[in-house]
Amino acid sequence: MAHTLDIYWDFSSPFAYLGSTQAEALAARTGATLRWRPMLLGGLFRAIGQVDTPISTFSPAKQRHVMKDLDRWAAHWGVPFQFPTRFPMNTVKALRVYLALPEERRQAFREGVFRAYWAEDRDISDDGELRSLIGEGADLYLARTGEAAIKEQLKAATEQAVAAGVFGAPTWVVDERELFWGQDRIPLVERALRA
């Protein structure tokens, strides 16, 4: 029986960016059905009583370690990474664009936005940047971010994350029951998918 693998993510998380670069290959190796679950991380944090930017509460020593660890993981997987000059980033509009796009255009947009923010230091809250990342029909999809249905979809997706027990990004859920948090848990996720 094929496993399902849900990945809960937001563009605002460097850990979600790094995990996202490995998700498709992980699913392919294990035969799992991968389901991308966008959520508004700030909304999730508020719902569970977490501060909006947990990293800002870390001691200076732990912050230095986390930054170095992010570089280590990027080098380990051979993916570009540079911590952006604008952090934290408002990702509401980018997430709404993702939800407004047809399914067949979501992967390219998701990968482009992650790369723009976490490798190229671009402002993904800016309409001009989003237009360039959307491409064809950009004005239509940007306009749709104001629609009640799209807003509700992101709210519902975030509520689904809360209900699933998610508390950070990326969160991996195997078969809707076994939860793993962080890009560094991929070996454990893979072991669960092979069980």
Query: Token pair for residue 9?
Result: 């993510």
Please count the structural domains in the chain: 1
For residue 65, how many other CB atoms are within 10 A of its CB? 12
E strands within 26-166?
Answer: 33-38
pLDDT at 117: 98
Q: Helix, strand or coil for residue 179?
A: strand
Residue 117, domain extent:
4-194
Question: Domain of 112: which CATH number?
Answer: 3.40.30.10
pLDDT at 170: 98
pLDDT at 52: 87
Return the closest-CA partner of residue 101 out of 195, 53, 160, 38. 38
Low-confidence ranges of the chain (pLDDT < 50): none
